[in-house]
Amino acid sequence: MSGELLRVTGLEVDFETPFGLSRALRGVSFAVESGEVFGLVGESGCGKTLTGRTILGLVPPNAHVRGSVSLHGRNLEELSPKRRREVRGRQLGMIFQNPGQALNPVFTVGQQMAAIVRHHRSLRGRELRARTRTLLHEVGLPNPGEIINAYPHHLSGGMQQRVMIGMALASEPELLIADEPTTALDVTIQAQILSLLTTLSERHRVAVLLITHDMGVVAATCKRVAVLYAGRVVEEGPVTTVFSQPYHPYTRGLLASLPEPEKRSQDLPVILGSVPSGLEALPGCAFAPRCDSALPACKDTAPPEVRFEPSHRTECHLYDSEGR
């Protein structure tokens, strides 16, 4: 299967806070193709986790959500609440930064996995155990027989994350939402988990929405990427072109500020200022107060969407509608 799997359109999330309405997502739009690894990147507080949770329907009660989430072109809002839960439960899986916290310390890995497998398929006895082993094997755990009887704290962080991925795969989802899945791991273990995610997408056609603050992780793993700033996608496109020819000043600034061998013993270019809070009114471009290239229009006119070839887009006043 190929083609568009997930489309997020104009996603807005407001929180009711004691200080007023806080706009956490201000119209997030992007699309993920079947079987691809798609990166959602940005600095802390820009709305990465919230985007993932909103797709999964896991928003806190003080949140107001607008916009749409579609799977295979089907707007989830058009489904009955029951059907919507089913579709999400079956087609989407999620893993988090801290697998140690997500796993239950008092049950063995086997018990926790079996519970999930049973939830999705009515297997019992030998079939249930076999399916559990298959999943552990698929996520590269060498001796499922031993792992099944282990408690989470017996496992290293990397192994725990593999178990989490295995559990997320139990429903045979089409999309895995991975929120900073390697941030707590060493680079060597990170490389293994990223290579596992790549394998899952290539061999099993599971699409991955990889949420991360690490541009290197995106470059190593993703085919396409969306850069999030203050609750909005400011640039989206193929990783190769976004990283080699970024158009948005924020993307440019982020990439420039990374220490790389070529910049050794030099001052790094920095982005001054800080990310605006959701309470601030931002009538124009949210990046304007920090942007070196800002034009007079940037402060109070929302920047237009500009498309470049192929499938590379940004939101910025610097370019005209033909992408120049």
Partner 1 sequence: MLMHIRGLTVSYPAVGGWLGGRRRSVTVLEDLDLELAEGETLGVVGESGSGKTTLANALLGLVPVERGEVSFQGADLLRLRAKMVRRVTREIQIVFQNPYSALNPRLRVFDAVAEPLRAHREAAPTEIDEHVPHLLREVGLTPEFLDRHPHELSGGQAQRVVLARALALNPKLLVLDEPTAALDISVQAQILNLLRRLQREHGLAYLFISHDLSVVQHLSDRIAVMYLGQVVESGPAEEIFGHPQHPYTIELLEAVPTLHPERRTSQDTLPATVPSPAYPPTGCRVHPRCPLVEERCRREQPALATFQNREARCHLLTEAG
Ligand X SMILES: Nc1ncnc2c1ncn2[C@@H]1O[C@H](COP(=O)(O)OP(=O)(O)O)[C@@H](O)[C@H]1O
Q: Which of 131, 224, 232, 317 binds ligand SF4 (CB under 6 A)?
A: 317
User: Residue 220: CB partners within 8 Å, gap ≥ 6?
Assistant: 191, 194
Note whether 232 binds ligand SF4 by CB under 6 A: no
Task: Quote the least distance from Cβ 213 to partner 1, whole Å.
Answer: 7
Cβ pair 226, 52 in contact under 8 A:
no
Cβ pair 15, 21 in contact under 8 A:
yes
CA-wise closest residue to 303 among 281, 288, 287, 285: 285
Distance CA 45, CA 187 (A): 24
Task: Say which entry of partner 1, ligand SF4, ligand X, none residue 298 contacts (CB below 5 to 8 A, set by partner kind).
Answer: ligand SF4
Query: Structure tokens of 21?
Result: 């309405």
Q: What is the DSSP letter of 58?
A: -
Q: Which of residues 228-287 bind ligand X (CB under 6 A)?
A: 278
Q: Which of 193, 303, 312, 313 binds ligand SF4 (CB under 6 A)?
A: 303
Question: x-or-dash pattern for ligand SF4, window 39-68, by CB under 6 A?
Answer: ------------------------------
Mapping DSSP to helix (H, G, I), strand (E, B) and coil, where does residue 85 land?
Answer: helix
Note whether 5 binds ligand X by CB under 6 A: no
Cβ pair 308, 247 in contact under 8 A:
yes
Query: Structure tokens of 202?
Result: 């290539």
Task: Quote the least distance from Cβ 277 to ligand X, whole Å.
Answer: 7
Task: Quote the least distance from Cβ 212 to ligand SF4, whole Å.
Answer: 22
Single out the segment in contact with ligand X by CB under 6 A; choices: 14-22, 129-137, 160-168, 286-294.
14-22
Query: Structure tokens of 113?
Result: 């996995």
Helices (H) and strands (E) in the chain, counts: 11, 12
Task: Quote the least distance from Cβ 257 to partner 1, whole Å.
Answer: 4
Note whether 285 binds ligand SF4 by CB under 6 A: yes
Q: Which of 9, 293, 305, 307 binds ligand SF4 (CB under 6 A)?
A: 293
Task: Say which entry of ligand X, ligand SF4, partner 1, none residue 255 contacts (CB below 5 to 8 A, set by partner kind).
Answer: partner 1
Question: x-or-dash pattern for ligand X, window 25-44, by CB under 6 A?
Answer: -----------------x-x
Helical packing angle, 157-168 and 187-204, nearest 10°: 20
Query: Which sign does the torsion angle of CA 313, 315, 317, 320 carry?
Result: positive
Q: Which of residues 12-71 bind Mg ion (CB under 5 A)?
A: 48-49
Residue 219 buriedness (CB in 10 A; 0-12 / 13-18 / 19+): middle
Note whether 47 binds ligand X by CB under 6 A: yes
| Interacting residue ranges for ligand X, rule: CB under 6 A | 15, 17, 22, 24, 42, 44-50, 60, 62, 278
